[in-house]
A and B are shown apart, each in its own frame.
Chain A
Amino acid sequence: EIVLTQSPATLSLSPGERATLSCRASQSVTTYLAWYQQKPGQAPRLLIYDANNRATGIPARFSGSGSGTDFTLTISSLEPEDFAVYYCQQRSTWWTFGQGTKVEMK
């Protein structure tokens, strides 16, 4: 089973700042890595798939990069609605999620 480890657990930033979230896989997932955003009381929303492709309707301030075992989600300039929990996800034989990174307002 491939384990995804996200860091940091919590990121404290102000609106307008840049957010950089990391996801590391225990073995290569090539570029089969997705990112989701989840706000309190809501279902997750797909942001990025195949490491660097934005899903439909996702603003350009969200970008993904990486391949193999190391991946990054970048939010170029935080908007108030971006404060949420972010999860990475991969599929080998089955799906696994990282434990999440909470982006909180400083």
Chain B
Amino acid sequence: EVQLVESGGGLVQPGGSLTLSCAATGFTLSDYGMNWVRQAPGKGLEWVSSFGGSGTTYYADSVKGRFIISRDNTKSTLSLQMNSLRAEDTATYYCAKEFGHGRPFDSWGQGTLVTVSS
């Protein structure tokens, strides 16, 4: 059974940094594209970043230059390093697995809440 479990969320001051992790079980992480998607309180879904099967990474314009996505195949973990955090980055962050490279997301974690506030 595929499971994705996010961790690392919390309260951080504007300008601060935080690293989110997503522990993946039930499949081989390197065989699938993986993504981070966020949802601000009461708002819709916003794609944040992708780690493709070939190692190619993509970022939404809103986070480009501030966030870094990475993957550790040996630990089966996807990470999102978030720097220079802003109030508008406050959201629940979901880890999501593509059901094939470049395909929609068939498995999601439960999400981890990041709050950027002084």
On A, residues with C-beta under 8 Å from B are: 34, 36, 38, 43-46, 49, 55-56, 87, 89, 91, 93-100
Contact = CB atoms under 8 A, between A and B. Distances in A.
B58 A46 contact: no
Give the dominant DSSP class at A's interface: strand
Nearest to A6: B44
Interface string B57-83: 010100000000000000000000000
For chain B, give the interface size range.
20 to 34
B46 A97 contact: yes
Interface string B26-54: 00000000010100000011110010000
Nearest to A91: B102
Given A49-B104, A56-B106, A43 B47 contact: no
15 contacts: A36-B105, A43-B109, A43-B110, A43-B111, A44-B105, A45-B108, A46-B106, A49-B104, A94-B58, A94-B60, A95-B47, A95-B50, A97-B47, A99-B44, A100-B45
Given A46-B104, A95-B35, A87 B44 contact: yes
Contact of A44 (B45, B50, B60, B102): B45
A98 B44 CA distance: 8
